[in-house]
Structure 1
Amino acid sequence: MLLEIKDLTLLYGRIQALHGISLVVNEGEVVALIGANGAGKTTTMRAISGLRPVATGSIVFDGTDVTRMRADLRVVRGISQSPEGRGVFPGMTVLENLEMGAYTRRDRAGVAADLDRVFELFPRLQERRKQAGGTLSGGEQQMLAVGRALMSRPKLLLLDEPSMGLAPMLIQQIFDIITEINQQGTTVLLVEQNAQQALSRAHRGYVLETGRIVKEGTGQELLHDPAVKEAYLGVA
């Protein structure tokens, strides 16, 4: 397995946000984490990437316990995140944003090859390479956030709400690209409100409710689970 979380708890002050969650991501998978707003999905992602300290439990990545490791060292290890809200650097050009994603790397030839890969995945970014990130449309900023995360050449790509605020046509495009990224060899952990799209693309999935994992299964099992359909797919 590539990522194993065991009995993870996390606090915001006196509020317990995660209640002993455990999950596994195997190499080569797309794993979806679904749930309502406030369920703890983004908190889980921040714990994995090192942006929030955990109270108890463990995070093991690629055979190494990274529970207390600094966030920047986790990037070096191979964990990269495209955050909720995109978080592009608005005053930097598209190219500069992408180069920031490779800040831990020294292999210039590899960085150049990955830049070509990102432009192949997102031709619009190549067209906009000299444009300031803050002037891009919402869809273009989402492409930039994913592309920047890919520039560290991650073993595990964390995608937090990649379809948020996008038009239906762009949502389909983003999920097609997520599938292509995975088929090219990158493991993906996906947090997504659009449960239909997420589960239809995922090998496996987990359902998170108020900081607890209440269901798990293959993407197709969860997609056809009556309780999941009623709660997250709008099907009574």
Structure 2
Amino acid sequence: MLLEVKDLRVNYGHIEAIRGISFEVPEGSVTALIGANGAGKTTTLKTLSGLRPVRSGTVVFDGADITNLAPYERVKRGIGQSPEGRGCFVGMTVRENLDMGAYVRNDKAAIAEDLERAFTLFPRLKEREKQVVGSMSGGEQQMVAIGRALMARPRLLLLDEPSMGLAPKLIQQIFSIVKEINDQGTTVLIVEQNAAQALKLAHHAHVLETGEIVRSGGGQELAGDPAVKAAYLGGDV
């Protein structure tokens, strides 16, 4: 098992945002966390990245306890994240943003290979390599954010709301690329409000409500669950 989360609890001040969740991410899989705004999805990913402190519980990555490891150490171990809202360096070029993704690495030949991989996955970034990211569309910035995360050569890629604010055509494109990334061997944990797309892509999925996991199963299994349909897919119970 690549990632194991056990009885994780996270607070914002006195408010318990994550209430004892446990789940696993098998190596090679796409695992989805779905839920409404405020369910705790982004907090979960921030905690896995080391950006939020853990009140209790453990995070185990590739057999090692990383619960209290610094964020940059987690990147070194193979956890990369494309954050909610993209988090691009808007005053820098596409190439400079991608180079920032490789900041913990010094294997120049492999970095060059990964840069070409990013440009192959996102040809538009190659076309706009020298363009300042702040002048690009939301969809293009999302491509930069995912490409930058891949530049760390992660074993586990954390994607936080990659479809947020994008036109339907671009959403399809982003999800196709996420599938391609997974097909190439990168394990993916995706947090997504677009439950239909996330469940279609995911091998495993978990539903978060107010900081608790209330349902778990295969992606197709949850997509067919009447309660999940009613709450997140626009269906009827």
Which TM-score bucket, shorter chain as reference? Answer: over 0.9
Structure 1 CA distance for aligned equivalents of residues 135 and 128 of structure 2: 10
- What amino acid is the match of 2:54? V
**Corresponding position of 1:44:** 44
Q: Which residue identity does 1:95 align to in structure 2?
A: R
Q: Unaligned 5+ residue runs, structure 2?
A: none
Q: Report the equivalent of 1:95.
A: 95
- The 2-side partners of 1:165 and 1:192 are apart by 12
How do 1:188-207 residues align onto structure 2 when only pairs under 5 Å count?
188-207=188-207
User: Shift in Å at residue 140 of structure 1?
Assistant: 0.1
2:224 corresponds in structure 1 to: 224
CA distance in 1, matches of 2:24, 2:178: 19
- The whole-number CA distance in structure 1 between the counterparts of 2:120 and 2:163 is 20
**Which residue of structure 2 lines up, in the alignment, with residue 174 of structure 1?**
174
Partner of 1:212 in structure 2? Answer: 212
In the alignment, the residues of structure 2 paired with residue 31 and residue 189 of structure 1 have an alpha-carbon distance, to the nearest angstrom, of 5
Residues 7-42 of structure 1: CA distance to partner in whole angstroms, max 9, x if unpaired?
Answer: 000000000001000010000000000000000000
Q: C-alpha separation between the residues in 2 aligned to 1:11 and 1:168?
A: 35
Give the whole-Å Cα distance in 2 for the aligned partners of 1:183 and 1:169. Answer: 21
| Pair 1:110-2:110 in alignment | yes
Q: Tell me the residue number matched to 2:79.
A: 79
Q: Equivalent residue for 1:158?
A: 158
Report the AA paired with residue 209 of structure 1.
E
Deviation of 1:58 after TM superposition, in Å, equals 0.1
CA distance in 2, matches of 1:101, 1:217: 33
Query: Is 1:147 matched with 2:141?
Result: no
Number of residues of Structure 1 aligned to a counterpart in Structure 2: 236
| Contiguous gaps of at least 5 residues in structure 1 | none
1:52-103 Cα distance to aligned partner (Å, 9 max, x none): 0010000000111000000000000000000000000011100000000000
Aligned-partner Cα distance in 2 for 1:38–1:119: 34
Offset, 1:188: 0.1
Deviation at 1:223, TM superposition (A): 0.4
Give structure 1 regions of 4+ aligned residues with deviation exceeding 4 angstroms.
none
Q: Which amino acid aligns with 2:33?
A: L
SS of equivalent to 1:228: helix
Shift in Å, 1:204: 0.5
Q: What is the TM-score when the length of structure 1 is the normalising length?
A: 1.00
Q: Structure 1 vs Structure 2: percent identity of aligned residues?
A: 68
**Which residue identity lines up with residue 150 of structure 1 in the other structure?**
L
Other structure's SS at 1:69 match = coil
SS in 2 for 1:59: strand
Q: So what's the TM-score if we normalise by structure 2?
A: 0.99
- Structure 2 match to 1:24: 24
For the residue of structure 1 that corresponds to 2:144, the secondary structure is: helix
Give 1:227's aligned amino acid.
Answer: A
**What is the CA–CA distance in structure 1 between the aligned matches of 2:11 and 2:167, rounded to whole Å?**
35
Aligned to 1:13: 13
The corresponding residue for 2:61 is 61
